[in-house]
């Protein structure tokens, strides 16, 4: 069957997750200065957070608090996590997003977003990007329940119902080998992997060895895939 809808992952597919991290750590740095929790200025705190993130994406706030002689209790860590997750990020689409969306409209192809991640965080990203103006459907799997996160087919079943489509009529574009491409098995859809510079998921292993159907360097390659 021909492709009638292209659904996109959000992080590192439509907008840089590294840019989101930078924005989040800026928000946390500003919060710490405003609260008076640290003697250093905002730029210094930000550079420390980014450096820790670049070393290892895990437990950044725990390590940061310890390094600065501050309490790293669960309560103190979660305070910073909440600031990070809830802030309105300073992010934008990659340059190849808008031209492709216009092309898909010309081709009569429906377009959507399906993304994992904490709902409040992903909603803030959607708001910052004004994505509701650009997509026919946006499904945040966390709003369906934690068991709906990829590679669960639940989000795609909702899209299929809304669009009255068969799984084989959907192309999903993502970046994360741990969960995005096994969807060809769990949901029966076609998948494409886009390779982005600074992609935070690029070194992940393929879930059960299932790879993408297509590999692309730019979203500009999507129309050619659809035409095949």
Per domain, the residue ranges of the chain are 5-16+91-227, 18-86
* 20 and 53 Cβ atoms separated by less than 8 Å: no
- Residue 36 is predicted with a pLDDT of 84
- Residue 200 is predicted with a pLDDT of 78
- What's the topology of domain 18-86? DNA polymerase; domain 1 (1.10.150)
pTM of the model as a whole = 0.93
Separation CA 121–CA 191 (nearest Å): 25
**pLDDT tens for the chain, residues 1 to 228:** 599 999 999 999 999 999 999 999 999 999 999 988 777 899 999 999 999 999 998 999 999 999 998 889 999 999 999 999 999 999 999 999 999 999 999 999 999 999 999 999 999 999 999 999 999 999 999 999 999 999 999 999 999 999 999 999 999 999 999 999 999 999 999 999 999 987 777 788 999 999 999 999 999 999 999 977
Separation CA 78–CA 76 (nearest Å): 6
* 112 and 5 Cβ atoms separated by less than 8 Å: yes
* 3 and 108 Cβ atoms separated by less than 8 Å: no
**CATH dotted code for 5-16+91-227:** 3.40.50.1000
E strand or H helix that includes residue 139 = strand 137-140
- Residue 1 is predicted with a pLDDT of 54
* 71 and 37 Cβ atoms separated by less than 8 Å: no
């Amino acid at each position: 069957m021909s492709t009638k809808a292209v659904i996109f992952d959000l992080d590192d597919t439509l907008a840089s997750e590294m840019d989101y991290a930078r924005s989040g750590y800026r928000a946390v740095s500003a919060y710490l200065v405003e609260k008076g929790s640290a003697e250093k200025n905002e730029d210094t705190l930000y550079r420390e957070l980014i450096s820790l993130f670049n070393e290892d994406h895990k437990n950044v706030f725990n390590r940061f608090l310890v390094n600065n002689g501050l309490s790293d209790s669960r309560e103190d860590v979660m305070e910073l996590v909440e600031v990070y997750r809830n802030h309105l990020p300073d992010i934008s689409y990659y340059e190849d997003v808008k031209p492709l969306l216009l092309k898909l409209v010309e081709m009569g192809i429906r377009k959507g977003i399906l993304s994992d991640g904490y709902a409040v965080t992903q909603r803030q990203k959607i708001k910052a990007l004004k994505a509701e103006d650009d997509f026919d459907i946006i499904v945040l799997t966390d709003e369906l329940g934690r068991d709906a996160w990829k590679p669960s087919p639940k989000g795609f079943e909702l899209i299929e119902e809304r669009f009255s489509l068969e799984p084989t009529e959907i192309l999903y574009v993502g970046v994360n080998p741990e969960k995005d491409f096994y969807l060809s098995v769990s949901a029966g859809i076609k998948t494409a992997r886009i390779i982005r510079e600074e992609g935070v998921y690029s070194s992940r292993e393929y879930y059960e060895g299932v790879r993408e159907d297509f590999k692309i360097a730019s979203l500009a390659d999507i129309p050619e895939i659809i035409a095949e």
